[in-house]
Amino acid sequence: MTHAASVPTPYESAAEAATRLSELTGVERHDIALVLGSGWLPAVDALGEATAEIDTTDLPGFSAAAVEGHSGKIRSIRSGDKNLLVFLSRTHFYEGKGVAAVVHPVRTAAAAGCSAIVLTNGCGGLKQGWQPGQPVLISDHINLTGTSPIVGANFVDLTDLYSPRLRAMCKEVDDSLDEGVYVQFPGPHYETPAEVRMAGIMGGHLVGMSTTLEAIAAREAGMEVLGISLVTNLAAGLSGEPLNHEEVLVAGRSAASRMGGLLSQVVTRI
Ligand code: 8IG
């Protein structure tokens, strides 16, 4: 007689990862999760001293990081009376590991106790006047991946997905922050100039390759979501120059102190 090994659901896998996380970090529960996107790594030091740092691959369900500027580490940081769970990298949809792998950190954070998540990314900007190195609050999104992290008849409401409360809090910290609609393309290629024009006609202001699937999974899990994009480049066709990954890293380094200050002040208020 054959005996099928039972495969854990994504939610069970996240719960296992959260248990292992608390064992490895010695931190029983985390309060706020942060996912650092392209260009955001230099901002992490402003959040405080790490209580523990582990490799993502030490937790069940995580795979190794693949992009320069993304390190496959998770930091537990004590900030005031809060335990922050900081993912220094993410799995991108374009890696082809499946949507469940993309949102596994989000579900792990929820299982670890986090009631809010800050999703950051580096992206192309469409709005007139935006400059590389400028952080922008995500007000809403358009998901062009053609998929969802949710399977089955679970009709999750995405009204106000990007928390108005948390966005207002960011503006209290920095009233010069602008907002925009983030459009997730599947990648890994950048958009053509025609696709950038399409994104603008659709109502988009930011183009990137992450965040929307994670935000959906976070909302499904009942977390409050804050999305912040770092405009690292003007979207294709807008600057007259080709896009390259180096400008992403440069934008992150030059904006690190502003972004670090913003993140650290916001997490203390959440
Ligand atoms: I950094 O211009 C970064 N990531 N799709 N387009 C897309 N992703 C990006 C871009 C961009 N810049």
Ligand 1 geometric centre to CA of 233 (Å): 7
- Is pLDDT of 64 > 70? no
Of the candidates 61, 44, 52, 59, the one whose C-alpha atom is nearest the C-alpha of residue 9 is 61
Residue 106 main-chain phi, psi, to 5 deg: -65, -45
Pick the residue whose CA is nearest to atom 12 on ligand 1.
Answer: 123
pLDDT at 225: 98
Q: What are phi and psi of 41, to 5 degrees?
A: -55, -45
* 59 CA distance to ligand 1 middle (Å): 29
Report the separation in Å between the CA atom of 73 and the middle of ligand 1, taken as the mean of its atom positions.
Answer: 22
Reported as a pLDDT band with limits 50, 70 and 90, residue 84 is very high
Closest residue to atom 2 of ligand 1, CA basis: 124
Ligand 1 atom 4, closest CA: 123
Mutate to test the pocket of ligand 1, among 143, 228, 232 (most ligand atoms within 8 A of CB): 232
Which are the catalytic amino acids?
A: 191
By CB atoms closer than 10 A (0-12, 13-18, 19+), residue 55 is middle
Q: Find out whether the peptide bond into 188 is cis, omega within 30 degrees of 0.
A: yes
SS (H, E, C) the chain: CCCCCCCCCHHHHHHHHHHHHHHHHCCCCCCEEEECCCCCHHHHHHHCCEEEEEEHHHCCCCCCCCCCCCCCEEEEEEECCEEEEEECCCCCHHHCCCHHHHHHHHHHHHHCCCCEEEEEEEEEECCCCCCCCEEEEEEEEEECCCCCCCCCCCCCCCCCCECHHHHHHHHHHCCCCEEEEEEECCCCCCCCHHHHHHHHHCCCCEEECCCHHHHHHHHHCCCEEEEEEEEEEECCCCCCCCCCHHHHHHHHHHHHHHHHHHHHHHHHHC
Place of tokens 């909302």: 219
pLDDT at 224 over 60: yes
Q: What is the pLDDT of residue 90?
A: 92
Residue 25 has pLDDT above 90, yes or no: yes
Give residue 1's pLDDT: 52
* CB-based burial label for 226 (10 Å; 0-12, 13-18, 19+): buried
Q: Which atom of ligand 1 is nearest to the CA of 243?
A: 2
HSE-CB for 60 with a 13 A CA cutoff: 17
Indicate the pLDDT class of residue 96, thresholds 50, 70 and 90: very high
* Cβ burial, residue 6 (10 Å; 0-12/13-18/19+): exposed
More confident residue, 61 or 213: 213
The whole-number pLDDT of residue 171 equals 95
pLDDT in tens, 100-140: 999 999 999 999 999 999 999 999 999 989 988 899 999 99
Q: What is the CA(65)–ligand 1 centre distance, in A?
A: 18
Q: Token digits for 32?
A: 């706020």
Contact of 229 with 121, CB cutoff 8 Å:
yes
Taking the CA of residue 187 as reference, the ligand 1 atom at the shortest distance is 5
Ligand 1, CB cutoff 6 Å, lining residues: 38, 122-124, 185, 187, 190-191, 207-209, 232-233, 235, 243, 248
Q: Could you tell me the distance, in angstroms and rounded to a whole number, from the CA of residue 79 to the centre of ligand 1? A: 31
Atom in ligand 1 nearest the alpha carbon of residue 248: 1
Bridge pairing between strands 134-143 and 178-184 = parallel
Mean pLDDT in residue range 84-104:
95
